[in-house]
Amino acid sequence: MYSIKLTLLMLGALLYVSATVCWFFWLAPVLLMDGEVVDIITAFAGTCAWLLVSFGMAIHIIKKARPTAGGGR
């Protein structure tokens, strides 16, 4: 059971890091270089989505590490 959890954790970390690198070094610069309004809005929305996913993962990790934090007993 531990090896499955470790494999899923490593896969999730790999997917998150690869998606982050692709977004910030490949897709977002291409969208911003075009300079069209739709492309800029798409780059902004993608960055907002990345921030939401990042903060959601951070909250999930904190709640998993300290299950009694936040009023739970």
pLDDT tens column, 18-68: 999 999 999 999 989 988 999 999 999 999 999 999 999 999 888 888 777
**Angle at CA 51, nearest 5°, toward 49 and 52?**
65
Residue 26 falls inside a structural domain: yes
Q: Is there a contact between 43 and 34 (Cβ–Cβ < 8 Å)?
A: no
Domains: count for the chain: 1
Residue 73 falls inside a structural domain: no
What is the distance between the alpha carbons of residues 43 and 38, in angstroms, rounded to a whole number?
9
Residue 17 falls inside a structural domain: yes
Residue 31 falls inside a structural domain: yes
Q: Which two tokens stand for residue 37?
A: 């309004």
Residue 70 falls inside a structural domain: no
Residue 72 falls inside a structural domain: no
Please give the model's pTM, rounded to 2 decimal places.
0.77
Domain that holds residue 58: 2-65
Q: Is there a contact between 46 and 23 (Cβ–Cβ < 8 Å)?
A: yes
